[in-house]
């Protein structure tokens, strides 16, 4: 089983998919991001309850209505759903409702 490595990026005005091509390196991606001032989000390899791909910085709502943001944890060495709720909701039970860049008002709910 192999994991798909994908990224998307927010320019401040639009979202773009960054699809690695044969021979591309993370250094090339880093150069693009630095030159254009893009905010990059990595695909987690997970999907929500509707089959929508979950990316870093996505905002997700659990079945109880709590909203959280998806973040990488160096301590846990994995993706976490960070919310005010103490509950540890499985990603498969959450629903992606936006991301912190395109939907900053939803981010206020998650904080």
Show pLDDT as tens, one digit a residue, over the chain (111 residues). 566 778 888 877 888 777 666 666 556 566 656 656 778 888 999 999 999 999 999 999 988 888 888 988 888 888 888 887 766 677 778 899 998 888 777 666 555
User: Bridge-partner residues for 98, per DSSP?
Assistant: 59
Alpha helix stretches (DSSP H) within 55-103: none
Q: Do residues 104 and 91 touch, judged by C-beta distance below 8 A? A: no
Token couple for 111: 């904080």
């Amino acid at each position: 089983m192999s994991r798909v490595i994908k990224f998307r990026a927010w320019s401040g005005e639009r979202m773009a998919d960054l699809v690695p091509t044969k021979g591309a390196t993370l250094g090339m991606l880093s150069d693009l991001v630095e030159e254009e001032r893009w905010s990059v989000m990595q695909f987690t390899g997970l999907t929500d309850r509707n089959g929508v791909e979950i990316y870093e910085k996505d905002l997700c709502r659990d079945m109880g209505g709590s909203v959280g943001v998806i973040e990488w944890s160096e301590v846990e060495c994995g993706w976490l759903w960070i919310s005010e709720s103490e509950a540890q909701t499985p990603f498969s039970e959450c629903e992606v409702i936006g991301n912190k860049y395109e939907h900053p008002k939803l981010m206020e709910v998650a904080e």
